[in-house]
A and B are shown apart, each in its own frame.
Chain A
Amino acid sequence: GAVVSQHPSWVICKSGTSVKIECRSLDFQATTMFWYRQFPKQSLMLMATSNEGSKATYEQGVEKDKFLINHASLTLSTLTVTSAHPEDSSFYICSARVRGTGVMNTEAFFGQGTRLTVV
């Protein structure tokens, strides 16, 4: 299957700093990528949809200025957590679906996730 690479797998940062997380589709083009957040023992909550060449679409309650998303190419989307605080500590996961016809009927491929700890 297609591969999505997410980097870094874990990061510890000081409160007030910014952290960038990268999500790459390695062997396919992804016009759309998705960013999720997951708290311990809970499900994935969709944060935003990242669209190549245009602005990201954020879910209700997600701060756009807090979680900056850039999708500059068909294989790379980045999520930047700005001015991070301890409550931003979480597991962040990206996913992408293969570009092509019938995109809504394809599986999603997930990165391995990034464990962010803000101290």
Chain B
Amino acid sequence: SQQGEEDPQALSIQEGENATMNCSYKTSINNLQWYRQNSGRGLVHLILIRSNEREKHSGRLRVTLDTSKKSSSLLITASRAADTASYFCATDGDLRYGGATNKLIFGTGTLLAVQP
């Protein structure tokens, strides 16, 4: 498969709780990005973390990157019902051949449901 793996596949939490999603990939990367997709819509960019960065914050979002483990996590703090969406990680990598390209390859995604 050309995709990275994300877990959990689905996550249901209560409003106010934190949500953590994980992403693993297989090749060397230039950067890793997280996107959000509301049902039946296009994707919205959330945050980009470069391969030489370990942690990045943006509002209620916190992203970590561990290149030695080829993994990343996205933490959404103090979740809201409006955060309900699918979340995808994406890398600048061709998972079949290794190395970085200008193509974004997406992970399998996590469906987050925040209950009011």
- Which residues of chain B are within 8 angstroms of A97 by Cβ–Cβ distance? 102
Number of A-B contacts (CB under 8 A): 68
Task: Annotate A99-113 by CB proximity to B: 1 below 8 A, 0 otherwise.
Answer: 000011111111111
Q: How far is the CA of A105 from the CA of B30 in the complex (A)?
A: 7
Q: How far is the CA of A103 from the CA of B104 in the complex (A)?
A: 12
Q: How far is the CA of A112 from the CA of B108 in the complex (A)?
A: 19
Interface size on A, residues (CB 8 A): 31
Tell me the minimal C-beta distance from A22 to chain B in angstroms: 14
Could you tell me if A110 and B42 are in contact, using CB atoms closer than 8 angstroms? yes
Residue of B nearest to A10 (CB): B40
- Which residues of chain A are within 8 angstroms of B108 by Cβ–Cβ distance? 42-43
Q: Which of B18-38 contact A (CB under 8 A)?
A: 30-31, 33, 35
Query: Known contacts being A46-B105, A104-B102, A107-B48, is A93 close to B33, with CB within 8 Å?
Result: no
Is A44 part of the contact surface with B, judged by Cβ < 8 Å? yes
Could you tell me if B104 and A34 are in contact, using CB atoms closer than 8 angstroms? yes
Tell me the minimal C-beta distance from A26 to chain B in angstroms: 14
Query: Known contacts being A46-B105, A113-B41, is A105 close to B2, with CB within 8 Å?
Result: no
Is A78 part of the contact surface with B, judged by Cβ < 8 Å? no
Chain B contacts to A: CB under 8 angstroms: 2-3, 30-31, 33, 35, 40-45, 48, 50, 88, 90, 92, 96, 100-109, 111
